[in-house]
Amino acid sequence: MVDTLGKAARSERMSRIRAKDTGPEMAVRRLIHGMGYRYRLHKKKLPGRPDIVFGKRRKIIFVHGCFWHRHSDSACKLSRAPKSRLEFWMPKLEGNVARDAGNEEALRSMGWDILVIWECQLKDEASLKLEIESFLNHEID
């Protein structure tokens, strides 16, 4: 499939994709803040610079984009594979998955409890609220 955008237009569009303060992350942060919880953002001293950190609770929330972090749920329509330049995209995206797994393993070994929220989960705010509430109020064993 041929790219419908020119090289300059594609470059400009891709440059707008951010690593933090993304739309899904901001939606989750607004939801959590509205629930009355307070948190820290992107703690540099923790592996992977987690999106949302609850220090006293020893809990971390990552907000992952389904495309960029390769959501493995077959029902997720946002985790589609790229159609062109597979030799570039597949190693990049699989590297993201490997890095995520390594960061989660390191954080768990440090005693942190982790919740990953996928971009596609934002559609059902009620169940997402319940999942976050359950995660934040459950004690680590």
Mean of all residue pLDDT scores within the chain: 89
pTM: 0.83
CB 119 within 8 A of CB 78: yes
Q: Strands of 40-41's sheet, edge to edge?
A: 40-41, 52-54, 59-64, 113-118
**What average pLDDT does the segment 8-12 reach?**
77
Number of H helices, E strands in the chain: 4, 4
Q: How far apart are CA 116 and CA 64, in angstroms?
A: 7
Q: Domain map of the chain by residue range? A: 18-137
- Summarised one tens digit per residue, pLDDT across range 79-115 is 888 888 889 889 999 999 999 999 999 999 999 999 9
Helix axes 23-34, 125-137, angle to 10 degrees: 60
pLDDT single digits (tens) 20-78 = 778 899 999 999 999 999 999 999 999 999 999 999 999 999 999 998 899 988 888 88
Distances (CA, A) of 111 to 80, 91, 105, 124, 127: 33, 30, 10, 30, 26
Instruction: Determine the Cα–Cα distance for residues 68 and 50; give it in Å rounded to an integer.
Output: 16
Fold of 18-137: Endonuclease; Chain A (3.40.960)
